[in-house]
């Protein structure tokens, strides 16, 4: 069955995580994705490790399935010419070079728009293509700090803390994918493409969501709450008899059901705890009571009790337990793909579930330059001697 983006060609000039993550999602949805890499070096994430799986970086593997790898040397004029020819026949281009670099190489939006007005050209950078910091390079960690995310992450009396995944990169990749899909939809009406300017900094500020809104509405600078929630109680992790669990009670009805199920029905009527604003105001009294209560049963016992009472609760799983979870298997969030050198590679699946045009895992993350000759032959109509010359001259 054809994917939603069947017939769309994506030229992926990006490296690291944000751009490749965006391109991978487009590939999952059926687009043909050509990943352009430096000869002999490739995407820098190929070298980010350990862990390595038979020489392949686990980091690289996470965001590069459903792509073909082509090596091109942008320091060689013929490499740039080949890139322009590929852009002429592409629907989408994704890049995350420093602002202005591709313009100097003749691969900027204005250059490629002139030869392909329908091109959707997606630029992903640390700070965007406007503003005083547009030329600054950046990584996810720096964005997490500058965006304020680290100031609200960690224990109240502890140091600022980054999120355990590269959330600024992932968020930018998600926003970029959304923008690309929107631009392709707009192109159906207008017939022309456009330039998309996606910044990690912008993306992470947008992800602040309710925390940003709280500050903008109140003027109060948010702090760190650890696993607790400033506005909802109880909504945090508690130590049970054997491990930690999360109790996430989002309304007063859930609180009343929990109190009855936990045999503390009087708490539901206590004027200090009856409503969420009262529970927030009396947090320092209620939370120690809950710690004492929850320590009396195991996590499994509490999860069963809460499930029967329709009260949101859950475990805090290590990653091995996540991928052993039957729900993960049922949802296809663990996939196994044949790989030319690894035998079989296991990857996290896609959350993109479409009933009529389902996402598909067609190609494993490619080896460096694995598809160079095929792309040059099939898409650019070069013969064997021309391709051999490009290899000999270090163009590919």
- For the chain, what percent of residues have pLDDT higher than 70? 100
The predicted pLDDT at position 354 comes to 96
The predicted pLDDT at position 358 comes to 95
- Three-class DSSP category at 380: coil
For 66-111, the pLDDT digits (tens) are: 999 999 999 999 999 999 999 999 999 999 999 999 999 999 999 9
User: What gap in Å lies between CA 296 and CA 241, rounded to an integer?
Assistant: 6
For 333-371, the pLDDT digits (tens) are: 999 999 999 999 999 999 999 999 999 999 999 999 999
- Three-class DSSP category at 13: coil
For 367-376, the pLDDT digits (tens) are: 999 999 999 9
Phi/psi class of residue 139: alpha, beta or left (left: φ > 0; alpha: ψ in -120 to 50)?
Answer: beta
User: What gap in Å lies between CA 242 and CA 366, rounded to an integer?
Assistant: 44
Tell me what the mean pLDDT of segment 51-59 comes to. Answer: 94
Tell me what the mean pLDDT of segment 152-173 comes to. Answer: 96
Tell me what the mean pLDDT of segment 130-150 comes to. Answer: 95
Tell me: pLDDT of 1 over 80: no
Given the residues 28, 91, 140, 169, the one annotated as active site: 169
Contact predicate 215/222, CB 8 Å: yes
Element (H, E) at 236: strand 235-239
User: What gap in Å lies between CA 38 and CA 75, rounded to an integer?
Assistant: 10
The predicted pLDDT at position 316 comes to 97
The predicted pLDDT at position 137 comes to 87
- Assigned token pair, 60: 């690289």
pTM: 0.94
Tell me: pLDDT of 264 over 80: yes
The predicted pLDDT at position 107 comes to 98
- Assigned token pair, 377: 């032959």
Tell me what the mean pLDDT of segment 233-259 comes to. Answer: 97
Give yes or no: 169 in active site. Answer: yes
The predicted pLDDT at position 67 comes to 98
* Closest to 306 in 3D by CA, of 353, 369, 261: 261
């Amino acid at each position: 069955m054809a994917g939603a983006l069947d017939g769309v060609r994506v030229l992926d000039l990006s490296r690291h995580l944000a751009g490749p993550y965006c391109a991978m999602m487009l590939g999952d949805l059926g687009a043909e994705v050509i990943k352009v890499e430096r000869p002999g070096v490739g995407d820098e994430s190929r070298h980010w490790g350990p862990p390595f799986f038979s020489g392949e970086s686990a980091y690289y593997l996470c965001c590069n399935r459903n792509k073909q790898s082509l090596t091109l040397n942008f320091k060689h004029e013929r490499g740039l010419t080949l890139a322009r020819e590929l852009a002429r026949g592409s629907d989408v281009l994704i890049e995350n070079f420093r602002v202005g670099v591709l313009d100097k190489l003749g691969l900027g939006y204005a250059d490629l728009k002139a030869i392909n007005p329908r091109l959707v050209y997606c630029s992903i950078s640390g700070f965007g293509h406007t503003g005083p910091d547009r030329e600054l390079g950046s990584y996810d960690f720096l964005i997490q700090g500058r965006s304020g995310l680290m100031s609200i992450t960690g224990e109240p009396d502890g140091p600022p803390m980054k999120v355990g995944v590269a959330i600024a990169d992932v968020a930018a990749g998600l926003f970029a994918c959304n923008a690309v899909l929107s631009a392709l939809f707009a192109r159906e009406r207008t017939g022309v493409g456009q330039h998309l300017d996606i910044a990690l900094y912008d993306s992470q500020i947008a992800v602040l969501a309710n925390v940003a809104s709280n500050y903008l509405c109140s003027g109060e600078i948010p702090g760190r709450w650890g696993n607790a929630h400033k506005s909802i109680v109880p909504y945090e992790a508690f130590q049970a008899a054997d491990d930690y669990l999360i109790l996430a009670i989002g309304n007063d009805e859930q609180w009343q059901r929990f109190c009855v199920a936990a045999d503390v029905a009087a708490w539901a009527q206590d004027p200090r705890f009856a409503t969420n604003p009262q529970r927030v105001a009396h947090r320092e009294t209620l939370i120690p009571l809950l710690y004492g209560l929850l320590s009396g049963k195991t996590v499994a016992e509490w999860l069963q009790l809460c499930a029967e009472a329709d009260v949101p609760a859950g475990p805090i799983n290590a990653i091995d337990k996540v991928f052993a979870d039957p729900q993960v298997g049922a949802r296809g969030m663990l996939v196994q793909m044949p790989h030319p050198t690894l035998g079989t590679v296991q990857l996290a699946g896609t959350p993109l579930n479409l009933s009529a045009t389902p996402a598909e895992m067609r190609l494993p993350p490619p080896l460096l330059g694995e598809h160079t000759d095929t792309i040059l032959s099939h898409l650019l109509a070069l013969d064997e001697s021309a391709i051999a010359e490009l290899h000999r001259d270090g163009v590919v």
